Amino acid sequence: MAAPGVKQSYTIPCSSVFRDAVQALAERRGVNAADLARSVMLIVPAKAIEEYDDPGDPPKSDRETIVLKSGPAEGRPWRRKPRLQLRLPPGFSIIMVRKALKMALDFDTGDVKMRVEKSDILAAENAALEEARALKSQQAEPPVELLQSREELERLRQIVDNLAFDPLDRGVTTFNEALHVMGFAPSARPDIRAIRTKYRVLAAIHHPDSNYGSHQRMTQLNAAMDLLRRHIT
């Protein structure tokens, strides 16, 4: 473990916009960039910082030009990634420090806020949040029984479609067409009682308000009923 007060140098690669924003904030507060990062890492739990957005390295097009001050290339310009130089206690990752600086910027702009609450209040809020999530999950996932009912309803609808008469293109105009729509054999000569009984059964199926209803079939069923009734009476 490092001795108290020991610090090391951190080179934090970042975009020039991010670098300038951090330096401007530090200047306004009368501190340096390391103080900003250190303040966040002292107050904010490490897990919260780890889960925070990382502004990342600078894009390839973002470079700064410096003049070398020593070595064989002394005096020559050199293009490099923009960066921040900080002195902090050892043990932090580059990404952790960069995220802490991003959080400091967001605190300053009001994009992120901290709130001091007693543990019992936080516990109540977390419980309410979990309850809301559970309710939303229940709403998003219908019960198995409901899904089975929907599948059964769709299966019955397909059966009805297969067994029901195909609507006539020109409507019901003849006695034989009326027999066909009502489900009687072509040679059948039903009485009014049989016609009414058949009509009640088919109307319950084809009425538009039913689960299997069809406006077109119901219209032709009514027409067939009227034609057969007139033919018999």
Q: What is the pLDDT of residues 4-38, one digit of tens each?
A: 568 899 999 999 999 999 999 999 999 999 999 99
Chain segment 207-228, per-residue pLDDT in tens: 777 766 778 888 888 898 889 8
- What secondary structure letter does DSSP report for 186? T
DSSP string, 52-93: SPP--SPPTT--EEEE--SSTTTT-EEEE--EEEEEE-TT--
* Distance set, CA 41 to CA 87, 108, 115, 218, 230 (Å): 14, 15, 16, 73, 91
Q: How many CA atoms are closer than 13 Å to the CA of 87, on its beta-carbon side?
A: 6
The counts of H helices and E strands in the chain are 9, 4
Q: Are 214 and 206 in contact (CB under 8 A)?
A: yes
User: What's the pLDDT score for residue 24?
Assistant: 96
Query: What is the Cα–Cα distance from 181 to 158, expressed in whole angstroms?
Result: 18
Domains annotated on the chain, with CATH = 8-120 (no CATH), 144-232 (1.10.287.110)
